[in-house]
């Protein structure tokens, strides 16, 4: 059933590893954000700890926008978006393939940029930081599940990047705000059981966004 999704995923990752276009651009962009903020503000470590989660997610989200735009731009090139609409498969499978490729690329980028973030903001590694894994995973999935379908909508228009931002930001902001809060709790070592309902809430939004997008994707592919 999911063979189409895996074929699309394999194709997208092969193209990305060959060109490294998205991941490199995302990495450089995030590095710039960290450098600028690090050298612009002379603040104490305590203040830095407070703004660091927000900075991290600013880097993730702005870079993620680039990845989302890229994901369907490469399909629009050479008419492959039309080829997708002609495929004898359920649109949901195409959505899953694109969602997985965007999510994997974004998670790889996050794994590559996180050590730089630790170094720049002089954060101390601890076992508790492993709790960042579910937080980043849940936040990223929420962002990409919604971003993938909206990117497919926006790619049909001339002002693709503007439209994607306009559509995505209002809907995804609760997930980003909760993810920033949770990241702050992990980095300051305050991640307790009381934080889990917030993580569950992010997870619930992920499920809702993913399910709706899966069901609606067939209509998006039509002219």
Partner 1 sequence: MSVPALEVSGVSKDFGRIIALRDVTFSVQPGEFVSILGRNGAGKTTLLNIISGVSRPSEGTVQLFGTNPSDRENKAKLAVISHEMFLYGNLTALENLEYYSRIYSVPDAQERIETVLKDVELTHRRFDLVATYSRGMTQRLTIARALLHEPSLLLLDEPFTGLDQHAIGMLITLLKRQKEMGRTILLTTHDLHTATALSDRYLVISKHKIVKDGLIVDTNPDKIRQAFFSSEVEEGVS
Q: Pick from 28, 35, 43, 83 the residue near partner 1 by CB under 8 A.
A: 83
Judged by CB under 8 A, the stretch of 77-85, 100-108, 147-155, 192-200 that binds partner 1 is: 77-85
Q: Which is nearer to partner 1, 85 or 198 (CB)?
A: 85
CA atoms within 13 A on the CB side of 49: 11
Cα gap 109→88, rounded to integer Å: 33
Closest distance to partner 1 from the beta carbon of 6 (Å): 8
Cα gap 153→141, rounded to integer Å: 19
CB-neighbour burial class of residue 119 (10 A; exposed 0-12, middle 13-18, buried 19+): exposed
Q: Are 165 and 68 in contact (CB under 8 A)?
A: no
Q: Which is nearer to partner 1, 43 or 83 (CB)?
A: 83
Cα gap 129→121, rounded to integer Å: 15
Closest distance to partner 1 from the beta carbon of 63 (Å): 21
Q: Which residue from 110, 130, 128, 138 is spatially nearest to 198, judged by alpha carbons?
A: 138
Q: Are 5 and 94 in contact (CB under 8 A)?
A: yes
Cα gap 62→64, rounded to integer Å: 5
Closest distance to partner 1 from the beta carbon of 44 (Å): 47
Q: Which is nearer to partner 1, 193 or 223 (CB)?
A: 223
Q: Which is nearer to partner 1, 193 or 222 (CB)?
A: 222
Asked if 197 is part of the footprint of partner 1 (rule: CB under 8 A), the reply reads no
Q: Pick from 2, 14, 196, 212 the residue near partner 1 by CB under 8 A.
A: 14
A 10 A CB-CB count for 214 gives 18
Q: How many residues bind partner 1 (CB under 8 A)?
A: 24
Residues 85 to 104 in contact with partner 1, rule: CB under 8 A:
85-90
Closest distance to partner 1 from the beta carbon of 223 (Å): 4
| Chain residues in the site for partner 1 (CB under 8 A) | 3-4, 7, 10-11, 14-15, 18-19, 74, 77-80, 82-83, 85-90, 222-223
């Amino acid at each position: 059933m999911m063979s189409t999704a895996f074929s699309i995923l394999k194709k997208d990752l092969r193209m990305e590893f060959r060109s490294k276009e998205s991941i490199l651009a995302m990495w450089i962009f995030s590095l710039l954000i960290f450098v600028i903020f690090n050298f612009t503000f002379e603040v104490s470590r305590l203040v830095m700890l407070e703004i660091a989660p927000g900075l991290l997610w600013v880097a993730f989200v702005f870079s993620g926008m680039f990845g989302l735009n890229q994901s369907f731009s490469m399909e629009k090139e050479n008419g492959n978006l039309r080829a997708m609409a002609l495929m004898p498969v359920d649109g949901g499978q195409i959505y899953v393939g694109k969602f997985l490729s965007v999510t994997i690329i974004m998670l790889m980028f996050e794994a590559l940029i996180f050590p730089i973030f630790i170094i720049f903001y002089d954060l101390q590694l601890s076992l508790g930081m492993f709790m960042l894994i579910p937080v980043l995973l849940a936040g990223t999935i929420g962002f990409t599940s919604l971003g993938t379908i909206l990117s497919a909508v926006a790619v049909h228009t001339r002002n693709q990047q503007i439209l994607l931002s306009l559509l995505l930001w209002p809907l995804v902001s609760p997930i980003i705000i909760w993810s920033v809060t949770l990241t702050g709790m992990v980095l300051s070592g305050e991640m307790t059981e009381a934080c889990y309902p917030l993580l569950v809430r992010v997870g619930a939004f992920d499920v809702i966004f993913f399910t709706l997008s899966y069901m609606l994707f067939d209509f998006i592919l039509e002219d």
